[in-house]
Amino acid sequence: MTVRIQVQDFDAGAEIAALRRGNPGIGAVASFIGVCREANDGSVVTSMTLEHYPGMTEKALEGIVAEAKRRWKVMDVLVVHRVGELKPTDQIVLVVVTGAHRGEAFAACEFLMDYLKTRAPFWKKEETPEGSRWVEARASDDEAAGRWQDRGADAA
């Protein structure tokens, strides 16, 4: 499966090995892991809960993967995103891109994260000593995603 949403943790090494297995054409593997931080917006974060929209979230991620494959010459893509309760140091998201060369793999990996953060229906609620709060979307994430609108494989 290209896209997985799960409560349990993931093993990036095992996921990468599985993606590479049997494909000697791969010359580059780019990966990103997002991790739960101990602080956000000036508060200590003791835990967070990730909510999603079952059905739509999977579809949105599959659409983003398809768009990345359309823009860059990459071979395989894997996106694993966790939901449920997470604590600081826990892994949240894994994106892996394989390809023949690093330039396309790096670019596709960054694009996938930028689009995931602004287009895939996930919501974070943080627990802090001051109480719980929903994380607000950041303008910087929209800007990061906006960069890709006039950039494609040609610019990568």
Partner 1 sequence: MKLKVLYFASLREQLGTRGEDLQVPPGVTTVASLRAMLMSRGGVWQSALAQGKALRVAVNQEMAQPTTLVSAGDEVAFFPPVTGG
Task: Find the part of the chain contacting partner 1 (CB under 8 A) among 11-19, 23-31, 50-58, 99-107.
Answer: 50-58
By the rule CB under 8 A, 94 interacts with partner 1:
no
CB 72 within 8 A of CB 99: yes
Among 17, 39, 44, 137, binds partner 1 (CB under 8 A): 137
By the rule CB under 8 A, 130 interacts with partner 1:
no
Task: Find the part of the chain contacting partner 1 (CB under 8 A) among 49-57, 64-72, 98-106, 147-155.
Answer: 49-57
By the rule CB under 8 A, 37 interacts with partner 1:
no
Nearer to partner 1 by Cβ, of 43 and 100: the residue is 43
By the rule CB under 8 A, 113 interacts with partner 1:
yes
Return the number of other C-beta atoms located less than 10 Å from residue 79's C-beta.
25
Among 16, 135, 153, 156, binds partner 1 (CB under 8 A): 135
CB 2 within 8 A of CB 65: yes
Hey, what are 7's tokens?
Answer: 């409560």
CB 151 within 8 A of CB 67: no
By the rule CB under 8 A, 88 interacts with partner 1:
no
Each as own residue / partner, the long-range contacts of residues 127-130 (CB below 8 Å, 24 or more positions apart, any chain) are 127/45, 127/46, 127/47, 127/48, 127/49, 128/43, 128/44, 128/45, 128/46, 129/43, 129/44, 129/46, 130/43
Number of chain positions touching partner 1 (CB under 8 A)? 27
By the rule CB under 8 A, 74 interacts with partner 1:
no
Q: Helices 139-146 and 102-119, interaxial angle, to 10°?
A: 140
Interface positions with partner 1 (CB under 8 A): 34, 50-53, 55-56, 59-60, 81, 92-93, 113, 116-125, 134-137
